[in-house]
A and B are shown apart, each in its own frame.
Chain A
């Protein structure tokens, strides 16, 4: 019923310049995520850290087709998509540290990153909750007749929430310009999705609601970009919603400290060979766009940027106690 969409190994989807920008974004998210682990270990943040390492291809691929004013809702695993949509690393780190310069003045935290200036309607701590909300933003776009598209990222496990099914049906009957991006990383928290859903492909669920659906190699950033392009075109042309199932893998635990007893090291290592950054870098090298040295240089520059953002956040102030009572209503 489905073909796994992959990119053409012999040809680039993007121009050289665009390809380098994509690579830059992929590495930026990776470095940001690595630094986040350091941040968590240092005890400077509260709550839990849900990492994105291994899934960067999905965020970057999808966001490569979005405009600044397109809408986005995401989950607690949120910083990757935020960076891909154009968020500031300074404000992200600051929010994670609960500082006043953070996106939510330190009051939201990593599970609630919000940046309305880039259409980032919010990360969410409740599984599935962002799906109808993005559908609502699509409703606005349609009603106002703008050409904006609304995209929602959620996990495989979220497709078992009632609200997922309700939102898909609404989007379908009202032909709303929304793209449902399911990041199937094979696990919902510590449970294998194969034990929780009878379908081989989660995209099948969209067909029940008469929503066009595709499956794509989520670690193939170009392939993700291509299927998103089609989905976004459909949405902007009043063709209604699309469902994208991106097959991917989180290389770290569900959250920092996860004992990962539910999977083997071998499985993780197999997936590391299909790392989205590794795959794209190799392709660029093979096609002669970059060399190892250039990639290394780029990585180094990005590391400096990430470090700078981190230092900014470290130096940012704690919110004033008065902030407790602002923004309630």
Chain B
């Protein structure tokens, strides 16, 4: 049985089930308990599981992520909510110098099964310190997995797998997706990390993206279809692990590639995809690989400027045409 629920509800369900199934799991975060989270993702969990397992923290990101690492090293499974991905930067030492390196530095003795749930991206006029897409930053650091789900189905299944990991995972939700609806089975399921999902089959061009940009790419595909262009949409779902194989296979079929992300273009993770594809599928390419990303400026507050800075459906359509050498007026 499936039913339509929102992305936020899907996360809530996953957390609910995980808390029920595993005694060692607990949630930490600002205003996640009694209030149910500022995006209402943890709504009702405090009432169900109590303040011992759904714990409101002071505004001390560095402190409670560090605490989460220590707890994870010693047998517990914390799921930490960082209200906005931008605030992970306040705690970056704990995440990247500590959590991401302990397994390796200890010769595999120390494991940090910690999930940091957070939300990123723009679209609400929240300004430069509340609109960033930082997944590429984390993906630059070996030792931490980076998951960016795009649909209610994916967000639930990927969260289940993230919590089952035996190492740190940063799980980046998108603020503009919380209210989007989609089909989610009632039965238990999980989605393995590192498996990209082909969200639309196509033969003329491959579009690779994740998070909110998947829906934008699907919308672009609809427009392109009107012009007889059949796009294949690949949702990477995670940057680490990165499923290059699915991308390469698709490019071998379509011979064209567009990479779409909301993160800034320059040094964005799109370049990594481009690099791997040109290396492994050079002979299959029939055109330049085009990247679509945010302009290289902090995200402006003004809603019109913000829209202009962030990738839009029309930018993806245009990029596909460039990849196909179709003249764009």
Contacts and interface: CB of A to CB of B under 8 A. Distances in A.
Contacts of B34: 190-191, 261-262
Interface string A108-140: 110110000000000011111000000000000
B308 A188 contact: no
A326 B136 CA distance: 25
Contact of B59 (A45, A98, A112, A127): A127
Interface stretch (A59-67, A84-92, A154-162, A274-282): A154-162
Interface in A38-85: 45-48
A111 B305 contact: no
A42 B144 CA distance: 43
A324 interface: yes
Contacts of B130: 47, 111, 125
A161 B87 CA distance: 12
A107 interface: yes
A106 interface: yes
B235 interface: no
Contacts of B297: 324-325, 328
Interface string B280-299: 00000000000000011110
B58 A109 contact: no
B141 interface: no
Contact of A47 (B31, B63, B124): B124
Contacts of B296: 328
A239 interface: no
Interface residues of B, number: 35
Given A108-B128, A111-B127, A188 B58 contact: yes
B303 interface: yes
Interface stretch (A3-11, A218-226, A297-305, A315-323): A315-323
A261 B35 contact: yes
Contacts of A262: 34-35
B173 interface: no
Interface string B21-45: 0000000001100110010000000
A interface bracket (residues with beta carbon within 8 Å of B): 35 or more
Given A160-B58, A321-B305, A189 B30 contact: yes
Nearest to B57: A196
Contacts of A160: 58-60, 63
A125 B301 contact: no
A267 interface: no
B21 to A, nearest CB: 28
Contacts of A268: none
A162 B90 CA distance: 9
B306 interface: yes
Contacts of A318: 302, 304
A318 B305 CA distance: 9
Nearest to A328: B297
Contacts of B87: 126
B301 A161 contact: no
A195 interface: yes
A104 interface: yes
B324 to A, nearest CB: 27
Given A126-B90, A190-B31, A190-B35, A325 B127 contact: no
Interface string A137-168: 00000000000000000000110111100000
Nearest to A112: B127
Given A47-B130, A126-B86, A196-B58, A98 B302 contact: yes
B125 interface: yes
B62 interface: yes
Given A107-B305, A318-B302, A323-B305, A191 B56 contact: yes
B59 A157 contact: yes
12 contacts: A46-B124, A46-B302, A98-B125, A98-B302, A98-B304, A107-B300, A112-B129, A196-B58, A196-B59, A318-B304, A324-B295, A325-B295
Q: Which 3 pairs of residues, A with B, have the shortest CB-CB distance?
A: A46-B125, A109-B301, A98-B302
